Amino acid sequence: MVDRRHLIEAGLAGGGALLATSLAPASARGAAMQVPSLSTLAKQRGILFGTAIGPLVATSQSYREVVVADAGLVVPEYEMKWRFIEKTQGVYDFSAVDRRLAFAQQNGMAFRGHTLVWHQSLPDWLPNAINPGNGRQLLTRHINAVAGRYKGKLHSWDVVNEAIDISPAGVGGLRNTTWLQNVGPDYIQIAFEAAAAADPGAMLVYNDYGLIYASGGGDMKRAATLRMLERLVSRGVPVHALGLQGHIEAPIRNFDPNVLSRFCNDVAALGLKIMITEIDVSDQYAPADIAVRDALVAEAYQAILGCVLAVPATVAAVTWGLSDIHSWLATYRPRKDGLQVRPLLYTDGMQKKPAWEAVASALRG
């Protein structure tokens, strides 16, 4: 008779572990075999956990399985951005987005739109086509075409992305974008009203970065963002949530959970929900040692999610990718030593990292 205890204590990997659990009592066997997914843990808290997706869900079975296992919501990383939707003026290509939406629907996932109005990822033809006489029409036509196509199918839209700029380059606290120049400061209100008309059922989100750290700049950007949201709400503009881009660094620094949660609760006091969007943890300046780096990255996930998930108004937590096999940070925040960046929850071989455990722990509360 094989000694069950010996097998389990021997910690035999792979088949041994399977054998050990198959010898375990049914209750333990069930528990051992069913580690709750991140989407399950999130749903148990009444929120959604998800991630950004792209072509990898179609080209990599192992990546697709990880997304299906852990994501209760997905958002296209770039395929819904204007430069991918309307490369030639008046010629729309929704094929990639339709495939991502079909993937979400087939797997019972909620779907986010990102993003209707941004100063980046604009089509090459736009700068020469837009002027103060047609800016509003170009903006609302885009919103009607894109948000209208997916009417009733989306959980939420990032309607306006990164409009606040507190630097000297900003104009009255707004980023000096083609939208400010050719539509005017009311472009944000116009965008939200157009999005609400095109898709009345979607939660409409203002999304921005630089709102997390307890630094002077963070304080100024949080104040400017709150003032803008107060103005929109006081005018009855259909804005429903603030999206906090969760692009942070390891080791986490300049982070005071009291500062961030106070800001989130101030936003919630306007009647708005909170989403932490685009979470990833850059290890660009972390030590080279993988175990040390992975631990620091995990600590950063734990710190940021531990704070934001404690805010009652928080409805979703979204990472900007799930596996180190693909992260925009490999291009945008590469390490000087040339080592592969490790900002996400799974290795490029789809093994769970300490960051996965940290997110699971934060979701458990």
- Could you list the residues that contact ligand XIL (CB under 6 A)? 77-78, 161, 245, 278, 328
* d(C-alpha 250, C-alpha 350), whole Å: 21
317-336: b or e for each residue (b if 16 or more CB lie within 10 Å)? bbbbbbbbbbbbbeeebebe
Catalytic annotation present for 9: no
Give me the least distance between CB of 278 and ligand XIL, in Å please.
6
162 in active site:
yes
Question: Which CB, 199 or 278, lies closer to ligand XIL?
Answer: 278
**CB contact set of 289 (below 8 Å; sequence gap of 6+):** none
Q: Which of 323, 333, 330, 327 is nearest to 356 (CA)?
A: 323
Identify which of residues 21 and 282 has a Cβ nearer to ligand XIL in the complex. Answer: 282
Residue nearest to ligand XIL (CB): 328
Residue with smaller CB distance to ligand XIL, 113 or 354: 113
CB of 119 to ligand XIL, least distance (A): 10
Q: Hey, what long-range contacts does 81-88 have (CB within 8 A, 24 or more apart)?
A: 81/114, 81/115, 81/118, 81/120, 81/121, 82/118, 82/121, 82/122, 82/123, 82/126, 82/142, 83/121, 83/122, 83/123, 83/124, 84/121, 85/146, 86/123, 86/142, 86/145, 87/123, 87/124, 88/123, 88/125
CB of 245 to ligand XIL, least distance (A): 6
CA nearest 293: which of 356, 251, 240? 251
Based on CB atoms, which residue is closest to ligand XIL, 78 or 94?
78
**Which residue among the candidates 162, 230, 249, 357 is catalytic per the annotation?**
162
CB of 205 to ligand XIL, least distance (A): 11
Residue 148 CB, shortest distance to ligand XIL, in Å, is: 21
Any idea which residues carry the catalytic annotation?
A: 162, 278
